Chains A and B, each alone.
Chain A
Amino acid sequence: QQQVKQSPQSLIVQKGGISIINCAYENTAFDYFPWYQQFPGKGPALLIAIRPDVSEKKEGRFTISFNKSAKQFSLHIMDSQPGDSATYFCAAGSGAGSYQLTFGKGTKLSVIP
């Protein structure tokens, strides 16, 4: 019940295209859903996050879509650029007695020119 399932494992997108990464969760107590971006040899960095009271959040070219009833959320990267090539992790957390984020297994995104 604590798992966050992330897909796909890897993704190749043409420059200018849309990258879509999906995550699903089971624990209805989760109330915070961040996405992290990790470049090789670096620590993950918070990219964008959403709480379940909204269905979508947009920051620049990055958008989180959230479907509470389906317990799914996704990251959309519009106009994907080679500089977006990185590993992306979704995560879910709850303040209800737990101090941990549960991470997906990651998606390696490659944006080709």
Chain B
Amino acid sequence: SQTIHQWPATLVQPVGSPLSLECTVEGTSNPNLYWYRQAAGRGLQLLFYSVGIGQISSEVPQNLSASRPQDRQFILSSKKLLLSDSGFYLCAWTSASPNYGYTFGSGTRLTVV
């Protein structure tokens, strides 16, 4: 069966520090991968998605970047965090087949102080 792993679960980082969040998927190949951010009590904001290794599409210009160095690995990064980067970050995957349902990871709660 397919599983998605996302870590760390919580993170407190000072302003100006770098960020690296990792997401991996097991039990499937060539998944579509997504990074979402959710502000407190708000909806889901799509940040990046990837349909293959090295293929990254950005939905919102901001202080973040994403990379996909391996088929089932998706990384969210920042060189210098801002206070406004605080939020709940979610990774998700879906098969490239007509089953369009996403499976979300458990999320990372990032607090920038």
Contact = CB atoms under 8 A, between A and B. Distances in A.
Instruction: Report if A and B associate in a common complex.
Output: yes
A61 B26 CA distance: 31
Contacts of A105: 42-43
A82 interface: no
23 contacts: A32-B100, A32-B101, A34-B100, A41-B107, A41-B109, A43-B6, A43-B90, A43-B92, A45-B104, A46-B102, A46-B103, A89-B43, A99-B32, A99-B49, A99-B94, A100-B49, A101-B100, A101-B102, A103-B43, A105-B42, A105-B43, A106-B44, A108-B41
A42 B107 contact: yes
B111 interface: no
Contacts of B49: 99-100
Given A44-B90, A46-B102, A108-B41, 11 more contacts: A34-B101, A43-B92, A43-B104, A44-B44, A46-B103, A49-B101, A95-B100, A99-B51, A99-B96, A100-B46, A101-B102
Interface of A: 32, 34, 36, 41-46, 49, 89, 93-95, 99-101, 103-106, 108
Contacts of B104: 36, 43-45
A43 B106 contact: yes
Interface size class of B (residues with CB under 8 A): 20 to 34
Contacts of A32: 100-101
B59 to A, nearest CB: 9
Nearest to B97: A95
Contacts, number: 53
B98 interface: yes
A98 B8 CA distance: 30
Contacts of B102: 34, 36, 44, 46, 101
Given A32-B100, A93-B100, A99-B51, A43 B105 contact: yes
Contacts of A104: 43
A27 B106 CA distance: 30
